[in-house]
Amino acid sequence: MGGGPGYVIPAPYTGMSTRDAHLKRRPPSSEPGTDYYMPRGTPLVVPSACRVVAVGGGLGPATGRFVMLDNGARWMRFLHLLESHVRVNQELPEGTVFGLSGASGYGSEHFGAASDTDGAMIARTGGPHVHVTAFRGRAFTLGSGGTVDFHALTGGAVAGNVTAKPEIEEEKEEDMTQLIGNSKDGYKLVDELGADNWASFAYTGPGSTFEANWEAVNILGDRVDMEGGWGLETLRHMANARWDQKRSQIAAEVIKGIAPLLAATASGGGLTEERFAQLLEEGLNKLKLNGPQISEADQDALAEAVRQKFREDPLA
């Protein structure tokens, strides 16, 4: 990426909400940038030759799907995408389409509403748009002091000629947990975001305690280091890996808690699958590991882990 980077608005737009407008909100935006209003599915073009720093694939919290780019001078984040067409560490030539604009965020494809025509949603957000944040440097910094005016950097220039979206070679995709390695700080942050029980740690999706805690950390801005590849999606990947590692530990805790009942039932010759399932449910409930905060697939996987441990040592 030799030479000074240029800046262009990623696509033609029908209206905008300025960075100043974001700062005048009450409370002010924690990530003040520029909203460019455009139809859903509009191709978005990199402002200059860039490297992909982070990609987020979720519908929440407020950011929705996003792509973070590094042009050698600063990081830029593009929020509320319908699709992203790039992967972390990919080098993108000038004019490359990196995704499609949308309205993802607040848990849906329509800023929390059922459709793009929802009147309350339009009044609140202005409708489908791409939010562009230009950070002060090559780091993820929040608040008014952490960002600059992207629109001013462009001088009003809009992307023109574009190239086709890049092909992603699946065999070269890197697991997000590999990108951040075995960072103790990263795992510590994931554990902290897991809150006070395993259930909130296991479920990291929209509306979870995990996500709510991320929002709090994100707003404070003192524990988030995007330079290491951080982002909600990265932390979710780490949390899922952590959850896999914890299953056997949790199974041991469940067995320990219901061992006396298991022993009594087994000695009486009455340990049926139905009775075991009942005791298992009681054990999971005691650890707050049942109900809407944990998926059915996770419950099944955890139940199987408990069964396997019981087979290995019935009276553990």
Taking residues 221-232, what's their average pLDDT?
46
Rounded Cα–Cα distance for residues 240 and 246 (Å):
10
Q: What is the distance between the terminal CA atoms of the chain, rounded to a whole angstrom? A: 60
Model pLDDT, residue 36: 93
Domains of the chain, earliest start first: 15-163 (2.70.70.10), 173-316 (no CATH)
Model pLDDT, residue 278: 74
Can you tell me whether residue 76 is helix, strand or coil? strand
Rounded Cα–Cα distance for residues 56 and 20 (Å):
26
Rounded Cα–Cα distance for residues 32 and 212 (Å):
20
Question: Band of the pLDDT at 124, cuts 50, 70, 90?
Answer: confident
pLDDT of residue 231 exceeding 90: no
Share of the chain above pLDDT 90, in %: 21
Higher pLDDT, 199 or 47: 47
Model pLDDT, residue 69: 93
Sign of the dihedral through C-alpha 5, 58, 64, 118? positive
Question: Band of the pLDDT at 314, cuts 50, 70, 90?
Answer: low
Taking residues 254-277, what's their average pLDDT?
66
Model pLDDT, residue 18: 87
- Only one residue has tokens 């460019």, namely 36
Rounded Cα–Cα distance for residues 50 and 138 (Å):
12
Q: What is the mean pLDDT of the chain?
A: 73
Taking residues 245-252, what's their average pLDDT?
66
Higher pLDDT, 180 or 29: 29
Burial 265-283 (b: 16+ CB within 10 A, else e): beeeeebeeeebeebbeeb
CA-to-CA separations, 91 to 10, 49, 72, 164, in angstroms, rounded: 17, 8, 11, 14
Model pLDDT, residue 187: 62
Nearest to 78 by CA among 119, 121, 31: 31
Residues 49 and 2 sit within 8 Å (Cβ to Cβ) = no
pLDDT of residue 181 exceeding 80: no
Strands 129-135 and 34-37: antiparallel
Q: Which residues pair with 83 in a beta bridge?
A: 100
pLDDT of residue 230 exceeding 70: no
Strands 34-37 and 43-45: unpaired
Backbone φ/ψ region at 288: left (φ over 0), alpha (ψ -120 to 50), beta: left
Share of the chain above pLDDT 70, in %: 53
At 128-165, the pLDDT tens digits run 999 999 998 888 777 667 889 999 998 888 886 444 44
Does this model's pTM top 0.75? My answer is: no
Taking residues 244-270, what's their average pLDDT?
65
- Secondary structure element (H or E) that encloses residue 302, with its range: helix 296-312
Query: What single DSSP character describes residue 227?
Result: G
Q: Which of 109-123, 170-184, 273-287 has the lowest mean pLDDT?
A: 170-184
Taking residues 294-315, what's their average pLDDT?
63
Taking residues 111-130, what's their average pLDDT?
86
Taking residues 271-284, what's their average pLDDT?
71
Nearest to 69 by CA among 43, 42, 41, 97: 97
Query: What single DSSP character describes residue 36?
Result: E
Rounded Cα–Cα distance for residues 314 and 316 (Å):
6
Who contacts 45 (Cβ-Cβ below 8 Å, separation ≥6)?
8, 10, 11, 95, 96, 97, 98, 159, 162
